[in-house]
Chain A
């Protein structure tokens, strides 16, 4: 029944993610952003937490933990509070593995899920976003045409996380070019396959530390056994609902980082003989941000809860993301504003959070939970 109290397991996972974020991520976020790379040791130690792999079924050698979108949302908020680039890098393998877990064939599960149990991050990722204006999940330009028992994939993708090193890509495409979520299929493409060109590392406004690439697919041939759910289409709407919940939680994590930082700054920054926190112009802005963060979190959790309860939650997840997209933009901007000129300087992290936060309206399908 209605309760906002975390379960013991949720509390434990939250604590794990929280201390990892505070001890490992936050202190290195600036350096990672400047260098444009996430150190291997950081990725490895993040992977060792087992936050992604816990859901691998027992019969495949995993822990068989029940997947929970609520618990995942709690975890992602904490990681994003530490650093968004690293949080996205951590969940990149899940973008491939979780759709396989929930919709894959037995053969696909056996082949790929054990990779999550290795000591190094699984080289798996997914390609959802396309480099076009007005990109729409329900009208993908990437197309899959039937050929024999399989398909020919053609089109372009971008913002593929950890794409430089990934071995397997789950590529989403409109089956026979038909619009609608119901006509989207997931196709497994292996690195080195004929017709697949993996682009150079992308340069974006934010997420500098995260490896993202573009893909070009020119009639890449995919066998019938490499189609998610056996094909032709999958339950793409459900997959995107999970993604929206994940992105909502990540956005709240980034926003919370910025709001807390601005709050602490306002308490110590003195102007006209008093901390600026004593002025309503500052404290009301930050109070509003606090309330918007609460709002976005509850919307996200509610959508997550509905997913966990086996409900559709398509609308709820969509609305939650629509809302949190705006929250993170407002809050990160307010944080820069609170710090004034100092906020504009890269010594303080708020400008990084603004750049990262700005991306959420673009990050469809970039994370899952």
Chain B
């Protein structure tokens, strides 16, 4: 039965997180943007105490994809029990990003690295690597290291290597990773970890690429740079160099053999891309709401229902911004709901990411444009939201890469035919 009713669990999380976003995040948003590479203590400590209190429990591991479960319901009809974990996560990420997208990324949290462990790890690996996010004494971060100076979206070109030392049964990692979100926080400033992608066999192309959990402060791993960015400045973006960095054998995620491993690694994206979209939506909604508020304060009216040709240009822009935010959320919820319902969502995950990245970039641009000097000024957060939003059309696969995934899917073409 088609329904757009927001599940109670989702609504509750939205409400709860919105309070946090309003009470703590907005207060520090401008400060965090002005103080790149500084930790916002109030935010980190607040989130850490909540994580330990169990509030983040539904989010930690929330991205693991559930199998379909059939449970008969009272009506005598067989209905699928959907637990909405991905949807809850999407709602939480939207609210956090409505508060501040940089602080959201900087919160002590398992991050994409943890998501990879949750999605591709064994029970023992989850136990070993994820528990810390609810039990450690001090804040902990997790990170994912894929991109290299010479390999962005083209992950098959990854040149970092993982060699197996037959004597010690250890992986020896070599190579340089860049653009690691919360990389410094994960491996130098806390007792977290980074999941690094490296090739076991460069001749094997994609099939040779595996992901490895590298613990904080592992010898041979070094943070060499922390980037200065356009937006999401509250979050550190690090370069990490591996030089004969030794990692225990059991830290490899998924099958260590050279075969079809890449698909498994890519499957993580099906879960994380809708979350990136959800983050964009939070920023877009913030910009939209502020714009509408200022527009109405200045005596503007939104005349829904009249002939669109009679709308003012600003009215039409505001309405289109509203539609774009709404559409982005619907596409994202669809992808998240499919994951919750155990339906393969590779296409929909990319649709949500490609569309939302572009749509929200447009929405936040319009917001700055519509308010003129007020929008451009740092007295408002609008210019910051534009800068923050842009990353969502870039990381976890650029808009173009996700469009390519969509195109290949709908045409039924492989990467050799549609390049």
Interface residues of A (CB under 8 A from B): 1-7, 10, 70, 134-138, 181, 237, 240, 263, 266-267, 275, 277-278, 280, 283-284, 286-288, 290-291, 294-295, 298-299, 301-302, 305-306, 309, 314-315, 318-320, 322-323, 325, 361
A291 touches B307 (CB 8 A): no
Taking beta carbons and an 8 Å cutoff, which residues of B are in contact with A?
1-7, 10, 82, 84, 87, 304-310, 319-320, 322-323, 326-327, 330-331, 333-334, 337-338, 341, 351, 354-355, 400, 403-404, 406-407, 410-411, 413, 417-419
Q: B411 contacts which of A4, A237, A263, A319 (Cβ < 8 Å)?
A: A263
Whether A7 contacts B1 by the Cβ 8 Å rule is yes
The contact sample of 18 A-B pairs, CB cut-off 8 A, is A1-B7, A2-B5, A2-B7, A3-B2, A6-B2, A136-B307, A137-B307, A263-B410, A267-B411, A277-B417, A280-B407, A283-B418, A290-B351, A298-B330, A298-B334, A305-B5, A319-B304, A322-B323
Given contacts A299-B327, A315-B304, A361-B308, 10 further A-B contacts (CB under 8 A): A1-B82, A3-B341, A134-B310, A284-B400, A294-B331, A294-B334, A294-B355, A299-B330, A305-B4, A319-B322
Please, how many angstroms separate the alpha-carbon atoms of A309 and B400 in the complex?
A: 38
Contacts of A136 on B, CB cut-off 8 Å? 306-307, 310
Q: How far does the alpha carbon of A287 sit from the alpha carbon of B7 in the complex, in Å?
A: 31
B417 touches A278 (CB 8 A): yes
Alpha-carbon distance A181/B4, docked complex (angstroms): 27
CB of B305 within 8 A of CB of A314, answer yes
Q: 6 closest pairs, A vs B, by CB?
A: A298-B330, A287-B407, A283-B407, A295-B327, A136-B307, A7-B1
In the complex with contacts A181-B305, A318-B305, A7-B410 CB distance below 8 A: no
> Which residues of chain A are near B406, meaning CB under 8 Å?
287, 290-291
Q: How far is the CB of B64 from chain A (nearest CB, A)?
A: 19
| A283-B407, A284-B403, A287-B407 as given contacts; A4 in contact with B308, CB under 8 Å | no
Q: Is the CB of A2 within 8 A of B10?
A: yes
- A295 contacts B330, C-beta separation under 8 Å: yes
Q: Which residues of A sit under 8 angstroms from B309, Cβ to Cβ?
A: 134
Q: Given the known A-B contacts A1-B5, A5-B1, A287-B403, are A277 and B308 also in contact in the complex, defined by CB atoms under 8 Å? A: no
Contacts of A3 in B (CB 8 A): 1-3, 82, 337, 341
Whether A286 and B407, one on each chain, are in contact in the complex, defined by CB atoms closer than 8 angstroms, is yes
Which of A135, A267, A288 is most buried by chain B, counting CB atoms within 10 A of its CB? A288
Q: Specify the chain B residue showing the minimal Cβ separation from A302.
A: B4
Contact (Cβ within 8 A) B305 A137: yes
B355 to A322, Cβ gap below 8 A?
A: no
Cα A59 to Cα B326 with chains together (Å):
41
A135 interface neighbour in B1, B4, B307, B319, Cβ under 8 Å? B307
- Cα-based distance from A181 to B304 in the complex (angstroms): 11
